[in-house]
Structure 1
């Protein structure tokens, strides 16, 4: 084999090798495998071309280039503390924490430079604004409502950045020592007031119950007297009816029976007794027996 043939053979092999290398480079440049937790931002000649999602993606080699690899996992901002003044002029220190994730990387990378810093500044301003609308007691008692307002305001502010705020938390509300002492004095005074009110209400209730008991007793006594009066009226009516139907003899008969019952009771006593029976009593016995016989 001549020298020219060897040279030609080597040249052809080199071309094949270079072609294979170029093909490998084209494949490597044109195929992009994106992890599940990321998105790739592709540019062509310095301008946004596309956003690659998780999986195998194909781009134009040497024309398209992956410029940004953005994580779409949920992120937590570092816990931040900011001072705020409530509506009743109390200085408080609010500890907050915000969670977010990037939904549209093309907006995030081209519209904002420092995402964490921008969100932290936005949250601080919104927290101060919302705290300024509320009294200190409302901040302590309506924390969930305050968190909801902060989350909605932050979502509205960062919407142009392609970001979703998933959670916003108020970790703590801190007060200075002077305010704490004043609140403690107020709390003790409120407890003393409630105790006095409770005692006064107890005394009032006791007086009301005593009055109700007296009223109930009076009502029951009046009811008993009314029943007794009705019974006496009924008895009087019966006697009156008997007199009207049987005449005066019925009345005399009843009187005689009463006299006999009284003498029997007197004679039934224990011990030595001397019973003096007046003449009228004997006549009453006689009248009673006559009436009894007459009635039979």
Structure 2
């Protein structure tokens, strides 16, 4: 084989090699494999051509260029602190955190240069505006409602940037030393007031219980007197019925019996040796003895 033939063969092989390399480059440039967590922004002659989603995508080589590779994973802004003044003129320092993700990369790329800084600035302004509408006590008590309001306001503000705010957090609300001392003093005063109220209520309850006890005792004594009166009335009724049934003799007999029992009790006393009895009393006792004797006969 001559030298010319060898050169001709090399030239022809080189052409095929160049063609093969060109085909490989075209294929390499025309096929774009996009990861699951990303989206590609493709431009043609400097203009937006397409947004490539995850998987295998085909573009026109040398005309279409992947200009931006955008992660669609959820992101967290660095925790930020900003001062705000409440409606009752209390200066507070609010610490916030925002989570977001890019849902429309073409808007994020062409409408905002620094999305993180823009979102942080927007959050700071919204937090100051919302806290300025509330008193300090409302900020502490309605934190969940405040977070929801801030999240909704931030969503509306960043919607044109192709960004979705997934979560907004109000991490802490700090007060200056003067306000903190005043609130501590107020808290101590409130605790003292509650202690005094509790003590007063305890004393009031003790008085009420004592009065209830006295009322109960009086009620029980009244019931006892009522029962005793009923018993005496019943006894009187029985005596009256006996007198009505048996006549005056039954009553005289009972009186005589009581007189004799009284005399015996007087005579049996330990210190009674001599008994002085009026004359009319002796006559009454005699009548009683006669009545008893007649009854036994």
Q: What is the TM-score with the length of structure 1 in the denominator? A: 0.87
Residues 220-235 of structure 1: matches in 2 within 5 Å? 220-235=220-235
Comparing 19-28 and 201-210, the one that deviates more: 201-210
Corresponding residue of 2:292: 288
Corresponding residue of 1:11: 11
**Whole-Å separation in 1 of the counterparts to 2:144 and 2:42:** 41
Q: Deviations over 1:7-43 (max 9, x none)?
A: 4433321221112111111121122222232221223
Corresponding residue of 1:63: 63
**Whole-Å separation in 2 of the counterparts to 1:256 and 1:30:** 143
Structure 1: gaps spanning 5 or more residues: none
Q: Deviations over 1:78-133 (max 9, x none)?
A: 22111111111111111111122222222222222211111111111111122112
Corresponding residue of 1:196: 196
> 1:267 deviation in Å?
4.8
Helix, strand or coil at the partner of 1:134: coil
Helix, strand or coil at the partner of 2:155: helix
**Whole-Å separation in 2 of the counterparts to 1:77 and 1:138:** 26
**Whole-Å separation in 1 of the counterparts to 2:159 and 2:245:** 108
**Whole-Å separation in 2 of the counterparts to 1:264 and 1:48:** 137
**Whole-Å separation in 2 of the counterparts to 1:292 and 1:135:** 105
Corresponding residue of 2:100: 100
**Whole-Å separation in 1 of the counterparts to 2:74 and 2:127:** 22
> 1:268 deviation in Å?
4.8
**Whole-Å separation in 1 of the counterparts to 2:240 and 2:132:** 91
Residues 229-268 of structure 1: matches in 2 within 5 Å? 229-268=229-268
**Whole-Å separation in 1 of the counterparts to 2:45 and 2:296:** 144
Report the count of equivalent residues: 293
**Whole-Å separation in 2 of the counterparts to 1:108 and 1:128:** 25
Corresponding residue of 2:170: 170
**Whole-Å separation in 1 of the counterparts to 2:28 and 2:120:** 39
Q: Deviations over 1:33-61 (max 9, x none)?
A: 22232221223343333332333333232
Q: CA RMSD in A?
A: 2.5
Aligned in 2, Cα 1:156/1:246: closer, same or farther, shift over 3 Å? Answer: farther
Structure 2: gaps spanning 5 or more residues: none
Helix, strand or coil at the partner of 1:158: helix
> 1:4 deviation in Å?
5.3
Corresponding residue of 2:147: 147
Helix, strand or coil at the partner of 1:69: strand
**Whole-Å separation in 1 of the counterparts to 2:103 and 2:26:** 30
Aligned in 2, Cα 1:37/1:271: closer, same or farther, shift over 3 Å? Answer: same
